Structure 1
Amino acid sequence: DELEKVNRDLNDFTHIVSHDLKAPLMTIESFSDFLLEDYFDVLDENGQEYLDSILKASNNMRELIDNLLTLSRVGRINTEYREVDLGELLAEVQEELKPQIEMKQAIVTGYDLPKLVTQRTWIKQVLMNLIGNGIKFNETNPPRVEITCTETETGYQFKVRDNGIGIPEDQHEHLFKLFQRLEHTNHYPGTGAGLSICKKIIESLGGEIWVESQEGYGSSFIFTVPNADIGEVTDSQVSQAIHADGLVER
C-alpha cells in the first residue's frame, strides 16, 4: 500500500544519502591523517587541538552514517533465518567488544542462553549495542553486564542487566528515540542511535523491548524474540537475505 511505498522510498533515500556522505568524509579523514603523521610536531598547541577536534568530529560523523545505514536496512532487509546458539553468539560479541571490556576491566556473563531460530545478524547487533552501552555508561569498578533468558509461550525473553549509572525514570520515554542523548550521558561518546536501532530490530522480528532502571542503580534492558519456525520462512525472505548488501552470514 501507499504507506509501505513511502517507507521503502524513505529507507532507500537514507541508504543512498548515507553512502554519498561517506565519500567526502573519507577525504577529510585522509588529509587529517596526513597532517597527523607529517605535520603534527610543526603545529602549535592550538593547531594540535584543532586537528584533534577534526578527527573526533570525523569519527562521530562516520558513526552517524553507519547508524543511518543500519536503520535503513532494518525491516527493509531480512537476513537469513537459522538456528542460533546464543551462547556462541555471546562469545563472538565478547570478542568484538574485547578492547572496551579490557579497557574498563568489565565482566560480561551469560546464563542459560538458548538456541532459537531467528535472524542472527540482527540479534548480534542488539547484543553488541546493549552490552556495549552497559560497559560504556558505567563508572562502577568493575563494570558488570549479565545476560539471562527465560522461555515464553511464543519464544524467549532476554534481560541485559548492568551495574552502570542508571537512567532517571522521567527519561525512560525518550530513551528509544533516534539520536536521543540524555542529559546525564552527554559527556560520554556516541550518537544516541544505538537504542533506536535495537528497538527497530526487535520490533521487525515481532518482539518488544523496554527498560527497567533508576538513576544510580544500573539498568535492565528486556526484549522478547519469537522463536521462528524455520519451515515458515518465505522464499522472499531468503531472496532478500541473499541480496542483503553483505549483511547475511554464509
Structure 2
Amino acid sequence: MSLNKNLNDIEKSQLIELMHESLRIRSHFELFLWMQGKLQVFLPHEIMITAWGDFSLGVIYFNIVSPLPGIRSDKIASHEINQFLQNLFNYWLNHAKAPFTLAAADNILHDCEFSNKESSYYLKNMKSALVHAIKDHRGRHDCLYVLLSSNLSFPPASRPMLEALLPYIDSALRQIEHLPEQQPTLIKAEPEPKDESLNILSGRELEIMDWVTKGKTNQEIGMILDISAFTVKNHLQRIFKKLNVMNRAQAVAKFRK
C-alpha cells in the first residue's frame, strides 16, 4: 500500500512536519507531547509500550507512554509484562518481520496479572494492538513497539504508516535518557554466588559497564567519560574476554548477577 496515494497534500505536509519534529526531541515531556500530538493523526492510540534489549536472552527493558492515569513505567513490574512482550517479538520474528495487528478476540493482555489495579483496568480494556519491531543484527539491541487502543481494530492503513514512521519513533526514543524504572528486573530461580570474574575488571572497565547497563551507546559513554567511542569499544572487547561473553547483552546479564 502506497502512502502517497492515500494522503492528501495537507496530510503529506503534516507527515513531513511530524518526521522533522521527531529529530528535535530531547526530553520525556517533549516525547509525550509529540506522541499525543500529530502522531495521533496518523497512528491513533492510547498507550504505547516500547521494549528493547536482547530478547533471545530475556534481557528486556520497557517504557510506557500514555495520557491515561496509572499507566506509567514505574507502575508495572518487569515480570508482569515481559512474557507478553517476548511473545509479541517472537511472533513478529517468525512472521516475515512485518507489522501486525491484534484484535479483541486475541484477548490482549488478559493473561497478564498486574499488581497495580488502575494499570490493570486500563491495560485489560485495550481492544486492539498494532505491533512492529526492529531486529538489531549488529549490536543485538532489538526494539519492539506496541500501540494499544480501546477501539475494536486499527484501520488497514495503520500498518504501512507504522512501518514508515518507525525509524522516527525509534530515533525520538534514542535521544532521551532512560528513567530508573526502565531497567529490567531479572528473576532468578535461586540465589547464585557472586561471579568472581567481575573482580578482574579494572576501575575504568567497571565504570564503563555501569553505563552500559544503563543503556548508553559507545558514543554516549565516550562523551560522558571524555574518551573516544573507539576507546570505549576497545575497553568492551577486553571486558567481553574477561567475562567470557560474546556480546553487550550477555555482559550486562553477567554484570547484574
TM-score interval, normalised by the smaller of the two chains: under 0.3
TM-score calculated relative to the size of structure 2: 0.26
Question: By percentage of residues, which structure has more strand?
Answer: 1
